[in-house]
Structure 1
Amino acid sequence: MIQTARRALEVIAAALVVGLILVTCVDVVGRYLFNAPLRGAYDLTQILLGALVFAALPLVTARGGHVEVDLFLSLMPARAARVLGVAAAVVTALVLVYFAFRLGFKVEDDVTTGRATQGIGFPLWTLGAVGLVSCVASAIVALARKPE
């Protein structure tokens, strides 16, 4: 099941990158060759990029791909390094849960006010909800991942 979820997120992330490329190409070609830019290209780019970040977050967490500074880790005993790895995982999970918590307020506010993008009217709460789910999933992955 985990492999299926990972593969699905990889496919979604790849599709989002392709979508970003297509939106940019269509907008540039339309703008410079036909004097007709893609309507809502700016909104679409923002939405796709935000969705890409949230789709990739659990993948990056699972691979241990977040930025780390480990200047002294190689000088420490293995047990101390493991303890620091567990502590880092807990801190990462707590930060991600906090992000999810704050996104929950943002989603509630966006639903209540009906906020949407200006160009195409895309409801912003949907992207916030995706981010909330992504942060919760990433926090779980951070805790479940074995420290190196």
Structure 2
Amino acid sequence: MLQTLEKLLRWTTGLMAAMALFSIMWLTLFDVTGRKFLNHSVPGGLELTEILMVIVIFGALPLVSWRGEHVVFDSLDHLIPPWVKEVQNRLIELVCAATFAGLAWLMMQRALRFAEYGDTTVYLQFSIAPVAWLMAGLLLITALVHFLFVFVPASTSDAGGAA
């Protein structure tokens, strides 16, 4: 079941982040080429890049959490008994789950406000609310990944290590 979840994350959030990064690459190429040779940049290029960067960063979060690839300070780990490390890892996963869930809730509140006020980007007039909803959803998925690891330790799930 855990392998299926990992595959699902890779083919959804991972693919989405990869496609957004690929799009940023092409957008930057066209923007720089247009400025250099045509004296004209891509209209709204900065806004598009910002939205795509949101997708890259927040789309990668669930996979980074799944694989335990967060920054970890383990300078004292060799002094801690294994059973304490196990408890510590589960507590850390719980704190991470609560933190990401809290951030998701805050982002949902922000998305509601964006939708209520009709906030848009300056140049292209894209609605900001769907971007905020996407951020909230990806934060919630990340919280669920950490919550899963409270009960199923990341080290035994073939997920790549504890967070």
TM range (shorter): over 0.9
Maintained 8 Å contact 1:97/1:135: yes
User: CA separation in 2, counterparts of 1:21 and 1:65?
Assistant: 24
CA RMSD, 1 decimal:
1.1
Aligned to 1:121: 125
Structure 1 segments of 4+ aligned residues over 4 angstroms from their partners:
none
Aligned with 2:66 (options 62, 67, 78): 62
| TM-score under structure 2 length normalisation | 0.87
Maintained 8 Å contact 2:16/2:55: no
Alignment partner of 1:123: what SS? coil
Aligned to 2:33: 29
Q: Tell me by how many angstroms 1:9 deviates.
A: 2.1
User: CA separation in 1, counterparts of 2:130 and 2:81?
Assistant: 46
Stretches of structure 1 that go unaligned for 5 or more consecutive residues are: none
Q: Kindly, what percent of the aligned residue pairs are identical?
A: 24
User: CA separation in 1, counterparts of 2:81 and 2:138?
Assistant: 34
Residues 44-98 of structure 1, C-alpha deviations (whole Å, 9 max, x = no match) = 0000001111111101010111112122112111000011100110110111011
Q: Tell me by how many angstroms 1:8 deviates.
A: 2.5
Count of residues in Structure 1 that have an aligned counterpart in Structure 2: 148
| TM-score under structure 1 length normalisation | 0.95
User: CA separation in 1, counterparts of 2:108 and 2:13?
Assistant: 22
Stretches of structure 2 that go unaligned for 5 or more consecutive residues are: 156-163
User: CA separation in 2, counterparts of 1:83 and 1:21?
Assistant: 43
User: CA separation in 2, counterparts of 1:21 and 1:29?
Assistant: 12
